[in-house]
Amino acid sequence: MRIILLRHGETDWNQERRLQGRQDIKLNEKGLSQAKVVGGYLAETYGSRISSIITSPLNRAVTTAGIVADALSFPKEQIVIEPLFVERDFGSAEGMSYEQTSINFKSGRYPGMENLEELCLRARKAVAKYTEDPFAEQTILVVAHGAIIKGVLTQASGGTVHYHDSDIWIENVSFCMLSGPKEAARKDSNLPYDIGHWHISLHNASVGFVGRQLGK
């Protein structure tokens, strides 16, 4: 099985370096263009092998998913809206610039934000919901957001990728590929929604989607 975790196209708040979280900000013109580019790339590279498209309910993700679906000749009415893939709730910091958050919240914790444990539990639950048979021959495309994608990577890497790793930056319309898994979820695991350990590669748009392996 392959899971393609695609970040949505650019919004004005991305361009202004403002924290979006659950705020429903639309794609700007650059974001619409980016979605067409990555859609073309995915169509050429994976084409009909993409059997499902799942998206966060936020407009910027839904719009990106629709544009990519057009490129893949995938029926838009079959796109699945999945609330589990919504962006992390950043509480009181939403709408602020990154510079403002560093001044106002020096601890990096924002009042009302979804904590990391909650995010990672949600990430595992989301992946587990669509990977009942992780060894099935299928490719799933998920259109989501930077924080929830990093939450998935943290959980799917077997501990070798961490949410706060400074060298992992998922740009707009970049994607991570989960393939495998290397190790299936253990039936005796005490971890709720254990998803096992996957091969992971990051494909950043700025380098032409050339993949680099993450973790070990």
Over residues 120-155, the pLDDT tens digits come to 999 999 999 999 887 788 999 999 999 999 999 999
**DSSP 3-state of 82:** coil
- pLDDT of the residue at 209: 86
Phi and psi torsions of 31, nearest 5°: -65, -40
Point out the catalytic residue in the list 10, 82, 87, 114. 87
Mean pLDDT of 179-189: 74
- pLDDT of the residue at 85: 98
**Annotation says 8 is catalytic:** yes
Please identify, in words, the CATH class of the domain defined by 2-214: alpha beta
pLDDT-based confidence at residue 188 (cuts at 50, 70, 90): low
Model pTM?
Answer: 0.94
- Pair 53, 134: CB distance under 8 Å: no
Ranges 62-66, 161-165, 180-184, most confident: 62-66
pLDDT-based confidence at residue 12 (cuts at 50, 70, 90): very high
Residue type for position 114 = E
Q: Is the pLDDT of residue 216 over 70?
A: no
Nearest Cα neighbor of 49 from 157, 153, 177 is 177
Point out the catalytic residue in the list 8, 145, 197, 203. 8
